[in-house]
């Protein structure tokens, strides 16, 4: 029924009634459906008071006056405005009617030829690649229809797909044999291919440092081994093992550098740059097992079973030569790190601790440990020759082992941190965030993640809240406003309105995609370390 609202002083009453709302303040006013109002004084024409009149309204008494009012209320019908909405379209669990597909996928997945695609509708779309602006795609429904026309039935298409899959598996099985035959052919007739980029990496930068270290440590191992055989010194044995471990580890670093130069493939879309960190991590473990472990073992055995040492003259000469050679390699590594740190705007200490270049870091720490261990071994051997006590020599072996264990622990920690995917420096992350937030199209960014992928390669990800008004204005600035206004004026039906909104809605979404590409390109240009950018629309 109708709601009757009455106010009298500070009291309010709400009563159920079959008439229009009635208010009572100092007098009763009846509002009709046509906007007219009828005032009732303190008393009506029959001498009734306002309270009695109110009582009549509340109880629904059928007197003559109320009957007349009711007839006046029903003179005009009540009009109700119905909201017009589009019927919701059900697309189903799998809808691919409007999907686009590239020519390469159409040929591979539907077993077509390039000539078959010439008869289909071609659509120019914005390219996801940086080197091209647009590329050609096809409607998936057209490609499916063309494949059925070519092959006759879905069963025949499935059989052709199965046959090609089996041929691909057979080709992969024979690939290794073909590569081996190709290597044998090159070895027999000579390889005239230009020098690869992987080989060129060993003539500059970290590759050059590693190759110099391999040559020097290999010679040091040979001469230290001869000195140990001649003297039987535990410290000299530790030094020989140390040089052998350094040579093997640096050969492993060279393998990591060559593998990191491989181009990305479908199985490894982000490349193989982490191979340097993996090689450095294994190198750290090798230093701990071979260098520290054997040095500790030989030192403990010397303490438990001491034996006199022969002439140490040759040992001193070899240690002096080793000190000069290791020092030269150390200087090469220091100069390379200084140059790289200066290019990145970092200090020497920050560059080493952050493990920006793991291969050079390993050479630096190994050669620094080698120089210190030579000094420790020479000191302990000198004390043994002066006092005749072989325990000093065994203590020197333990000292060299402890030094190598410390270096290996540092290498294992820094390379593990790099492989786990640590974040970039807060200052650099703040610069990237401010660059995005300063753009007019961005309202806010959330869930920002910037991961150091190794070798000065950063992957940046953020949830971006775009300003739809700015995106729409960017779209309108590229349109003919007069023509757009004419299209709006021609819209008369719901079907025409739907077609108009679908057309321009798709174009606005394309404009939003272009804005995302622009932001990603700006981030990469202003920050060369950022190689991969993932901006997700919030």
Task: Return the structure tokens found at 284.
Answer: 């750290």
Cα separation, 281 vs 361, whole angstroms: 11
Cα separation, 414 vs 280, whole angstroms: 9
What confidence category does residue 66 fall into, taking pLDDT thresholds of 50, 70 and 90? Answer: low
Please give the distance of CA 457 from its chain centroid, rounded to a whole number: 11
Least confident stretch, 57-61, 121-125, 206-210, 418-422: 57-61
Q: Which of 93-107, 207-221, 230-244 has the highest mean pLDDT?
A: 207-221
Q: What is the mean pLDDT of residues 300-313?
A: 76
Q: What is the pLDDT of residue 535?
A: 92
Report the phi/psi class of residue 13: left, alpha or beta, with left for phi > 0 and alpha for psi in -120 to 50.
beta
Q: Do residues 313 and 320 make contact, with C-beta atoms less than 8 angstroms apart?
A: no
Task: Assign domain 202-420 one CATH number from 3.40.718.10, 1.20.1510.10, 1.10.10.60, 3.40.50.80.
Answer: 1.20.1510.10
- CATH class of the region 100-191: alpha beta
Helix (H, G, I), strand (E, B) or coil at 335: helix
pLDDT per residue as tens digits for the range 357-401: 787 888 888 788 878 888 888 888 888 888 878 888 888 888 888
Q: Do residues 147 and 157 make contact, with C-beta atoms less than 8 angstroms apart?
A: yes
Partners of residue 535 on adjacent β-strands: 462
Give the sheet arrangement for strand 123-126, strand by strand.
100-102, 134-139, 123-126
Cα separation, 507 vs 95, whole angstroms: 21
What confidence category does residue 1 fall into, taking pLDDT thresholds of 50, 70 and 90? Answer: very low
- Provide Rg for the chain, Cα atoms: 43
- CATH class of the region 426-537: alpha beta
Domain residue extents for the chain: 100-191, 202-420, 426-537
Question: Model's pTM, two decimal places?
Answer: 0.60
What confidence category does residue 180 fall into, taking pLDDT thresholds of 50, 70 and 90? Answer: low
């Amino acid at each position: 029924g109708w709601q009757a609202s009455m106010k009298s002083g500070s009291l309010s009453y709400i009563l159920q009634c079959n008439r229009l709302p009635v208010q009572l303040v100092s007098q009763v006013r009846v509002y009709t459906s046509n906007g007219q109002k009828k005032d009732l004084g303190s008393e009506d024409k029959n001498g009734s008071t306002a309270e009695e009149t109110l009582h009549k309204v509340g109880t629904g008494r059928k007197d003559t006056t109320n009957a007349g009012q009711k007839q006046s209320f029903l003179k005009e019908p009540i009009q109700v405005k119905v909201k017009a909405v589009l019927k919701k379209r059900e697309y189903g669990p799998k809808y691919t009617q409007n999907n686009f597909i590239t020519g390469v996928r159409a040929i591979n997945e539907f077993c077509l030829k390039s000539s078959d695609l010439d008869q289909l509708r071609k659509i120019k779309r914005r390219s996801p690649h940086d080197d091209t602006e647009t590329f050609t795609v096809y409607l998936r429904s057209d490609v499916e229809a063309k494949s059925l026309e070519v092959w006759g039935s879905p069963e025949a298409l499935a059989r052709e797909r199965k046959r090609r899959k089996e041929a691909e598996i057979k080709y992969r099985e024979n690939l290794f044999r073909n590569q081996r035959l190709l290597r044998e052919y090159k070895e027999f007739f000579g390889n005239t291919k230009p020098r690869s980029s992987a080989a060129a990496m060993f003539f500059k930068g970290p590759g050059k440092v590693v190759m110099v270290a391999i040559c020097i440590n290999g010679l040091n191992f040979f001469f230290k081994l001869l000195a140990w055989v001649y003297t039987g010194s535990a410290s000299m044995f530790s030094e020989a093992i140390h040089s052998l471990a350094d040579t093997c580890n640096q050969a492993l670093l060279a393998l990591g550098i060559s593998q990191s130069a491989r181009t990305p493939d479908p199985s490894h879309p982000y490349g193989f740059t982490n191979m340097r960190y993996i090689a450095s991590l294994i190198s750290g473990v090798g230093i701990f097992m071979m260098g520290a472990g054997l040095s500790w073992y030989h030192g403990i055995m010397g303490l438990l079973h001491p034996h006199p040492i022969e002439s140490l003259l040759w040992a001193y000469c070899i240690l002096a030569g080793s000190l000069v050679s290791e020092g030269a390699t150390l200087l090469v590594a220091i100069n390379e790190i200084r140059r790289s740190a200066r290019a990145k705007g970092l200090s020497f200490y920050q560059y080493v601790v952050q493990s920006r270049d793991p291969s050079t870091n390993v050479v630096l720490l190994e050669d620094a440990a080698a120089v210190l261990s030579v000094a420790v071994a020479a000191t302990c051997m000198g004390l043994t020759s002066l006092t005749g006590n072989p325990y000093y020599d065994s203590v020197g072996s333990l000292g060299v082992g402890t030094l190598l264990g410390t270096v290996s622990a540092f290498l294992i920690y820094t390379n593990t941190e790099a492989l786990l995917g640590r974040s970039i420096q807060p200052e650099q992350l703040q610069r990237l965030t401010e660059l995005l937030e300063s753009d007019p199209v961005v309202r806010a960014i959330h869930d920002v993640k910037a991961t150091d992928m190794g070798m000065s390669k950063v992957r940046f990800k953020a949830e971006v809240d775009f300003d739809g008004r700015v995106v729409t204005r960017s779209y309108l600035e590229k349109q003919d406003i007069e023509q757009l206004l004419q299209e709006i004026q021609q819209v008369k039906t719901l079907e025409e309105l739907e077609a108009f909104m679908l057309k321009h809605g798709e174009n606005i979404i394309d404009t939003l995609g272009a804005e995302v590409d622009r932001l990603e390109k700006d981030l990469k240009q202003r920050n060369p370390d950022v190689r991969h950018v993932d901006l997700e629309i919030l």
